[in-house]
Amino acid sequence: MAIKDYLFTSESVSEGHPDKVCDQISDAILDAFIANDVKLGHADDSHANTRLGCETLATTNKIVIAGEGRASAPYMRKYGKHTIVNREALTEIAREVVRDIGYDQDGFSFHGADVEVLLHGQSPDIAMGVDAKKKGGNLGDQEGAGDQGLMFGFACRDSEEYEKGSFMPAPIYFSHKILEVLSKARRSGELPDLQPDAKSQVTVRYVNGKAVGATKVVVSTQHREATAKGKKYNSGMIKEMIAGHVTKSLPKGWMPKKASDFFVNPTGNFVVGGPDGDCGLTGRKIIVDTYGGYAPHGGGAFSGKDPTKVDRSAAYAARYLAKNVVAAGLADRCLIQVAYAIGVADPMSLYVDTQGTGKVDERKLEKVLSDIFPLRPTNIRRSLQLNKPIYKRTAAYGHFGRKPEKDGGFSWERTDLVPELKRAFGAR
């Protein structure tokens, strides 16, 4: 029997966290490559040129960009058997990301950091398995998966009354929201003494399987060393500064009643932060990116990967299907796993688990989902419109639980499959 009364904790990190700095640089490069394809008319199914697996490392005034890729000029061009990478252009992209986040400190600055670009051309052995096969001169749905692996999607109604239709677990949803509110206050000048690096952690109490409140809240936020009048900050001063913003990030009555259950900068000081305080790497916050540990993760990171790489696109598709199942009222929770082999279009397997909340047969649901939305990479790209420069915005505050945007951003959060799913099961 499933436990219905429990505590669960998730964490988030801000856009200034060192790992998130790296995720955003990798995804900004991806966006630039795709935007260039769009400009050149190379972003449709028959001419999509961008391939990218971009990793970024950031430490004290140093940024290293590495990986493999394929792009149109001016970012890359072929020279015989070799690929020439426009290192100057990628350097400027990285600097702009750091500037936008707000880093201009002695130990890490958008203009002072040394940027090293080690990106190289995509392996032809990978490309031959991924590029779509031609059928009668037209590209068919035979684009192979960009890697082997397993991906998960998840959605739930555990706290829908507070989340406004996000269908996300409450602990990760509100961990993100706290940091987004603080970031907005920092950027607007309302809290000018906060700095970009921050982390949050929320422990939620569940009663009868429903989220009812937060029992512990932790916020660690980087700050200036002293006030404008020269008085050095301590954790108590920072706590008083941000308390109101944290409270308004949570549903009414959720903020812990005891002051001792609200932790702010527990070490006592957080002046040195960002990549100067801790080395950052792309893909090191995959649980923050997904469901906060409330549901499984296949292991593959998202940022810096183009949509042929199913680590990313199939995880988006699995979330899309799971969210539509829950939104259609076919289950209160839905976990979907899909698995691939590199170079093979059709998935190796599809698994649906409604965790005891399903109102329909799960095996039939698997078949219906496969029929409604074939999980081949080409169909995922086309249906979710993933050949667009929409990725940098995903690289902070989670890839899921966001609102679909008019330009195609967060398209996997749509619930447009609900009518078809209801018809398939005779539901109203």
Domains of the chain (ranges; CATH) run: 6-14+169-272 (3.30.300.10), 18-124 (3.30.300.10)
Nearest Cα neighbor of 65 from 126, 120, 121 is 120
pLDDT, average across residues 192-200: 98
pLDDT, average across residues 299-322: 95
Q: What is the pLDDT of residue 78?
A: 83
- CB contact at 8 A, 387 and 43: yes
pLDDT, average across residues 298-314: 94
Q: Is the pLDDT of residue 134 over 50?
A: no
Return the sign of the alpha-carbon dihedral for residues 180, 181, 185, 191.
Answer: negative
Band the pLDDT of 138: cuts 50, 70, 90.
very low
- Tell me the pLDDT tens digit for each residue of 42-71: 766 655 689 999 999 999 999 999 999 999
Q: What is the pLDDT of residue 137?
A: 38
Q: What is the pLDDT of residue 80?
A: 77
Residues composing the chain: 428
Instruction: Give the rounded percent of residues in the chain with a pLDDT score beyond 70.
Output: 93
Q: Name the average pLDDT for the chain.
A: 92
- 340 phi and psi, to 5 degrees? -135, 160
Q: Is the pLDDT of residue 428 over 70?
A: no
Band the pLDDT of 410: cuts 50, 70, 90.
very high
149-156 and 333-340 as β-strands: parallel, antiparallel, unpaired?
antiparallel
Q: How far is CA 74 from CA 32, 39, 86, 119, 384, in A?
A: 10, 12, 7, 14, 27
- CB contact at 8 A, 369 and 349: no
Q: What is the pLDDT of residue 136?
A: 41
